Chain A
């Protein structure tokens, strides 16, 4: 059973370019979460999605960041017009459900974004 998959693992962008990060949840999981980890810091929640719906985007920056989880295909975190401060590791997690035993979030290997 494959785990959470993220690609690319490493992404280098110049200031002003767009970054697209992809996440495929574990098989059977319909809940996807994105977190950001700055160097030497803990993870910060960004957004929580179910298929075709954004459930909680309280951690997303108001501008330049967007996320989607279409009916078919992976979840996408999109960062427009990247700036150096966007350099971080972006982790995707998925869960089977939200309550009780099904609420464990399993994490992917992350995408390390470097903005030059």
Chain B
């Protein structure tokens, strides 16, 4: 079985400060890992993903995430947050093993509030 944990329901940060949103995962095999962002009453927008290779993945809007296999983590980061980054962020995992299927398992989400 696969699972994702986002330990923080909400993260508050001042504009211009670094932003980190935490995510840990559990899969039987090797993971595909994803970050999505959801604005109010909208669908999920894809930010970035880890498949294989470099542990540091760069994505849209200046976001990046670091895959850490030993800690089973995939934290999302942005060096300098903007007010417009305020949204709901979801981490998701998919097990690479074919038998696990193609479904994504999502964390509960972390609400980010960036204050001016």
Contact = CB atoms under 8 A, between A and B. Distances in A.
Contact of B102 (A42, A56, A108): A56
Contacts of A103: 32, 51, 94, 102
A69 interface: no
A110 interface: yes
Contacts, number: 64
Interface string A89-109: 001010100101101111111
Contacts of A45: 103-105
Given A42-B109, A103-B94, A104-B34, A109 B42 contact: yes
Contacts of A55: 101-102
A48 B106 CA distance: 15
Sort chain B's interface into a size bin. Answer: 20 to 34
A54 B4 CA distance: 25
Contacts of A93: 44, 104
Nearest to A10: B41
Interface in B18-47: 32, 34, 36, 41-46
A69 B107 CA distance: 27
Contacts of B49: 104
Nearest to A46: B103
A6 B44 CA distance: 13
Contacts of A43: 44, 90, 104, 106
A103 B108 CA distance: 22
A4 B44 CA distance: 11
B105 to A, nearest CB: 7
Given A101-B51, A104-B49, A91 B43 contact: yes
Interface of B: 32, 34, 36, 41-46, 49, 51, 90, 94, 101-109
Given A56-B103, A107-B43, A109-B43, 16 more contacts: A31-B102, A35-B104, A41-B109, A42-B90, A45-B105, A48-B102, A55-B101, A56-B102, A58-B103, A59-B103, A103-B102, A105-B34, A107-B45, A108-B43, A110-B42, A110-B43
10 contacts: A31-B102, A42-B108, A43-B106, A48-B103, A56-B101, A93-B44, A103-B102, A106-B46, A107-B45, A112-B41
